[in-house]
Amino acid sequence: MMDIQALATELSTRFALPEGAVKVQRATRLWVEVDRAMFSEVFDYTVKSLGFTILCTITGLDLGADLGFIYHLARDGGVMINLKTRCPKAESIRTVTSYFPCADIYERELVDLFGARVEGLPTGARYPLPEDWPEGEHPLLKDWKPKTTEAPAPTSEAHAPTSEAAKGAVSE
Amino acid sequence: MSDMDRVVTVPIGPQHPALKEPESFMVDLRGEKIDAVRMRFGYNHRGIEKGCEQRSYTQDLYLVERVCGICSFAHSTAFIQAVEEIAGIELPKRATYIRTIIAELERIHSHLLWLGVAGHEIGFDTLLMYTWRDREQVMILLARLTGNRVNYGMNTVGGVRRDIAPEMIPEILKVVDSLEERTKYYIDMGTREQTLIQRLSGVGKLSREDALRLGTVGPTARASGVDRDTRRDDPYAAYSEVSFKVIIDDHCDVYGRTLVRLGELMETYSILRQLLKQIPEGPIAVKAPRRIPEGEAVSRYEAPRGEDVHYVRGNGSEKPERVKVRAPTLANTQSVSKMLEDGYLADLPIVIAAIDPCFSCTDRMVRLNEGSGGEGRTMGWEEVTRYGVQWHKARGLDLSKIKIPGGGGA
Amino acid sequence: MGVFHRIVRWAQRKSPWILHFNTGACNACDIEIIAALTPRFDLERLGVVLKGTPRHCDILACSGPVTKQIKDRLVRIYEQVPEPKIVVAIGSCATSGGVFNGLYNVEGGIDQAIPVTAYIPGCPASPQAIIDGFVKVIKSLEEKK
């Protein structure tokens, strides 16, 4: 099995990735930035030919005009390749559920929390927001603010404690 | 159409028997067997990741610790390791040892908790009482070491906040010795008590191929022969300084998951003894900046339930740009539907419990729909459990009769 | 206070039936509640029994913060609890939202939805604190008669 330096070189040369796109962070962490146009090819190669058959999760990022996506891939032996790509907010990315059935829930998270569009995601329940969450509200976008940020004062004068025993904090 | 042919959808769902709510598991029943399961999660969504962006790294330690009330140290440590990697902070050895000791103590309390909950789900409440009584030894110890039974507040950026006093080392070893004896009883029971073996065998089957394909993690994966454990594969804290076996089993069922957790307990006792013998002198933390530079890191941690993954991105300020948490239970959700397929409704509670989900995941309700035009019937989770216990009793498996060997004593 | 009311109070005192409602959160408090029922603490010797239905419970014990989704449900459960209603908030989250206060899906403690009789703080509330809290609540019922 190739060590991490060899993996870095392999990906760099095979896909003619620009200077700085491939970073070895430590013995088990590789970071690879891939242009959207090349992403499926690089992804396919990493999974099928380099043996990165574990998808830990997919991280979404709000990069302003674009959304960023990091696919955290791993394989037996501990090495992780983090494949990063980005895509303008109004555009869509392809699902990777054909490679990883478990990607389903990670992609739904991107849809709910960032408003990402994922082409080919099978129909199913949303995750993690509740059913009645308002349309178009994506909490992890940087400019999203909740409607109320302050916790209101307690409403509890309706049922004030009636004895000294029930009043006050419990000692521990 | 006969009863056997009729598919009945059983929504297993909300948090309370009294209420109608969106269901988390939609179970299609064919007679007594499960045809298919569709799932929905997220009822527990609090908005922690966003909250992390609005709080400092130190404040985030206290928030992230509370993602889960069982593996709180797992989340706290996974988070802070990523932060420390971005900042290029190298921890003093003693700090990594202390983290590992707390991590393994957490594994003990979590696995014993699981054993008790599993016992409860199959009508073996004696096991719940004994394991949770044993578990108290670890809870008391953790409170003595950290100040709290759960949510230890032990981590800080650059190390740990409290040292382990030399006089505590023999105290920890006493608990390890005592629990090792107790665990041996449970293993003995698990390998010789026929009723228990029969009850758990062949239940919740998950082949190795499916475990790999569906991304299963933790003891659930290892019970299907998947040889993966983050402590060995991608070591963190002080795990590269100790030697231990990764417990693999090939039963591919709930029985296997039980054996794996029991085996892991024994390995944990060994790991703790090594750590306590070797723990070096030295500081327990290094001074760390409040502002964490621009950069990103991924931290992986073998929580009691499986691999916990944290991604952190710094932007040069006191607050993180992004924190992403992938808890192990989320990775195991698809495996659960697979395991339930073609099994009995009577086994549903133990199969779900066997992936060791967050406790509230199992506080579910079953609603029986008699198909179109029928009347709904409401059953609570406890009722399904009782249905399962009665169902198995009728087939000769009565777990309430099992005696626990060596069960007496404090 | 009529005879019937005195009987109800007496029955509550002798063996209060608790309905435990947890809104999710991290569940550490829920585990400590169960721990309170296991041999080392043994809450059952106080006659405390956990029951599954609001219509028969004496005390509604809540853990976890109030999230937007849970609020309505909590109110509906509260409405089903017979008078006199006693509500105990267990843990910092049930008390005030705890560490989750200010997160976008969290509205605060239990008292954002229903009136609370007693608060048992702690993160989590320890089994000792839970027992102490229930003892105080039960005592306060005695004093009412």
pLDDT of residue C144: 65
ipTM of the complex as predicted: 0.90
Which has the closest alpha carbon to A161: C108, B313, B79, C111?
C111
pLDDT of residue B371: 39
- Start-to-end CA distance of chain B, whole Å, equals 58
Tokens 């409405």 sit on residue:
C79
Give the whole-angstrom CA distance, residue B71 versus residue B307.
11
What is the average per-residue pLDDT within A99-114? 95
Residues B304 and B370 in one domain: no
Which has the closest alpha carbon to A57: B327, B142, B344?
B327
Q: What angle (nearest 5°) sits at the alpha carbon of residue B257, between those of residues B252 and B261?
A: 145
Kindly list the residues from chain B whose CB atom is less than 8 angstroms away from the CB atom of residue A26. 85
- Tokens for C144, please give them: 């009412």
Is A140 close to B49, i.e. CB distance below 8 A?
yes
Is A31 near chain B, with CB under 8 Å? yes
Which has the closest alpha carbon to B148: C129, C63, C123?
C123
CA dihedral B255, B260, B263, B269 (to 10 degrees): -130
> Which amino acid, A19?
E
Q: What are the tens digits of pLDDT across the range B255-281?
A: 999 999 999 999 999 999 999 999 999
Nearest CB to B132: which of C24, C38, C124? Answer: C38
Which pLDDT band, with edges at 50, 70 and 90, does A142 fall under? very high
Whether residue B100 lies inside any domain: the answer is: yes
Q: What is the nearest CA distance from C62 to chain A, expressed in angstroms?
A: 15
> Which amino acid, C18?
I
| Chain B CA closest to residue A114 | B50
CB C139 within 8 A of CB A162: no
Residues B313 and B360 in one domain: no
Adjacency order of strands within the sheet including B365-368: B33-39, B25-30, B7-12, B365-368, B377-380
CA dihedral B260, B261, B265, B270 (to 10 degrees): 30
Is A171 close to C87, i.e. CB distance below 8 A?
no
- Helix (H) / strand (E) element for A72: namely strand A66-74
Is A159 close to C68, i.e. CB distance below 8 A?
no
Residues B187 and B275 in one domain: yes
Is B144 near chain A, with CB under 8 Å? no
pLDDT of residue B183: 97
Kindly list the residues from chain B whose CB atom is less than 8 angstroms away from the CB atom of residue C42. none
Give the whole-angstrom CA distance, residue B353 versus residue B114.
8
Is B307 close to A56, i.e. CB distance below 8 A?
yes
pLDDT of residue C49: 78
Domain spanning C3-144: CATH 3.40.50.800: no
Is C126 close to A166, i.e. CB distance below 8 A?
no
Say how many C-beta atoms besides its own lie within 10 A of residue C55's C-beta: 10
Q: What are the tens digits of pLDDT across the range B239-251?
A: 999 999 999 999 9
Is B239 near chain C, with CB under 8 Å? no
- pLDDT tens sequence for chain B (410 residues): 444 456 666 655 544 444 444 446 677 888 888 888 877 776 667 788 999 999 999 999 999 999 888 889 999 999 999 999 999 999 999 999 999 999 999 999 999 999 998 998 899 999 999 999 999 999 999 999 999 999 999 999 999 999 999 999 999 999 999 999 999 999 999 999 999 999 999 999 999 999 999 999 999 999 999 999 999 999 999 999 999 999 999 999 999 999 999 999 999 999 999 999 999 999 999 999 999 999 999 999 999 999 999 999 999 999 999 999 998 988 998 898 899 998 998 998 889 888 887 644 334 443 333 333 334 455 566 777 888 899 999 998 999 888 876 554 44
Is A170 close to C143, i.e. CB distance below 8 A?
no
Nearest CB to C129: which of A149, A154, A172? Answer: A172
Kindly list the residues from chain B whose CB atom is less than 8 angstroms away from the CB atom of residue A77. 233
| Chain A CA closest to residue C114 | A156
- Tokens for B156, please give them: 């800080």
Is B233 close to A76, i.e. CB distance below 8 A?
yes
Q: What are the tens digits of pLDDT across the range A148-162?
A: 544 444 444 433 333
pLDDT of residue A131: 79
Q: Read out DSSP for C54-104?
A: GGG-SEEEEESPEEHHHHHHHHHHHHHSPSSPEEEEESHHHHH-GGGTTST
Give the whole-angstrom CA distance, residue B236 versus residue C56.
51
In this structure, the strands spanning C86-90 and C118-120 are parallel
Q: How many domains does chain B divide into?
A: 2
Give the whole-angstrom CA distance, residue B102 versus residue B98.
6
Is A139 near chain B, with CB under 8 Å? yes
Kindly list the residues from chain B whose CB atom is less than 8 angstroms away from the CB atom of residue C100. 46-48, 51, 63, 66
- Helix (H) / strand (E) element for C43: namely none
Query: Rounded mean pLDDT of chain A?
Result: 86
Nearest CB to C103: which of B18, B51, B149? Answer: B51
> Which amino acid, B352?
I
| Chain B CA closest to residue A77 | B233
Residues B96 and B14 in one domain: no
Residues B30 and B65 in one domain: no
Whether residue B406 lies inside any domain: the answer is: no
Is A170 near chain C, with CB under 8 Å? yes
Is A27 near chain B, with CB under 8 Å? no
B134 or A172: whose pLDDT is higher?
Answer: B134
Q: What is the nearest CA distance from B149 to chain A, expressed in angstroms?
A: 13
Bond preceding residue B14 cis, omega within 30 of 0 = no
CB B388 within 8 A of CB B348: yes
Nearest CB to A128: which of B22, B41, B215? Answer: B41
| Chain C CA closest to residue A163 | C140
Kindly list the residues from chain A whose CB atom is less than 8 angstroms away from the CB atom of residue C62. none
Residues B53 and B71 in one domain: yes
Give the whole-angstrom CA distance, residue B202 versus residue B255.
8
Q: What are the tens digits of pLDDT across the range B363-405?
A: 444 333 333 333 445 556 677 788 889 999 999 899 988 887 6
CB C99 within 8 A of CB C56: no
- Provide the residue ranges of all domains of chain A, joining segments of one domain with +: 4-143
Which has the closest alpha carbon to C59: C120, C20, C18?
C18
Which has the closest alpha carbon to B179: B243, B100, B268?
B268
Residue span of the structural domain in which B233 resides? 48-328
Give the whole-angstrom CA distance, residue B355 versus residue B335.
9
Is A153 near chain C, with CB under 8 Å? no
Nearest CB to C27: which of B136, B360, B382? Answer: B360
- B250-286 as b/e: b if 16+ CB within 10 A: ebbbbbbbbbbbbbbbbbbbbbbbebbeebeeeebbe
Ranges of residues in chain C with a pLDDT under 70 are 1-13, 24, 52, 144-145
**Residue A49 above 50 pLDDT?**
yes
Kindly list the residues from chain A whose CB atom is less than 8 angstroms away from the CB atom of residue C108. 151-152, 154
The neighbours of chain C, by the rule of 3 or more Cβ pairs under 8 Å, are A, B
Q: Is A28 helix (H, G, I), strand (E, B) or coil?
A: coil
- Provide the residue ranges of all domains of chain C, joining segments of one domain with +: 3-144
Residues B23 and B150 in one domain: no
Kindly list the residues from chain B whose CB atom is less than 8 angstroms away from the CB atom of residue A100. 215
- Tokens for B129, please give them: 């009482």
**Backbone φ and ψ of B391, nearest 5°:** -55, -45
Q: Is A139 helix (H, G, I), strand (E, B) or coil?
A: coil
Whether residue B2 lies inside any domain: the answer is: no
Give the whole-angstrom CA distance, residue B321 versus residue A68.
13
| Chain B CA closest to residue A29 | B298
Q: What is the nearest CA distance from A82 to chain B, expressed in angstroms?
A: 9
3-state DSSP of chain B: CCCCCCEEEEEECCCCCCCCCCCCEEEEEECCEEEEEEECCCCCCCCHHHHHHCCCHHHHHHHHCCCCCCCHHHHHHHHHHHHHHHHCCCCCHHHHHHHHHHHHHHHHHHHHHHHHHHHHHCCCHHHHHHHHHHHHHHHHHHHHHHCCCCCCCCEECCEECCCCCCCHHHHHHHHHHHHHHHHHHHHHHHHHCHHHHHHHCCCCCCCHHHHHHCCCCHHHHHCCCCCCCHHHHCCCCCHHHCCCCCCCCCCCCHHHHHHHHHHHHHHHHHHHHHHHHHCCCCCCECCCCCCCCCEEEEEEEEECCEEEEEEEEECCCCCCCEEEEECHHHHCHHHHHHHHCCCEHHHHHHHHHCCCCCHHHHCCEEEECCCCCCCCEEEEHHHHHHHHHHHHHCCCCCHHHCCCCCCCCC
B193: domain CATH number is: 1.10.645.10
User: Best interface-test mutation with B: which of C73, C99, C104, C106 has the largest number of B CBs within 10 A?
Assistant: C99
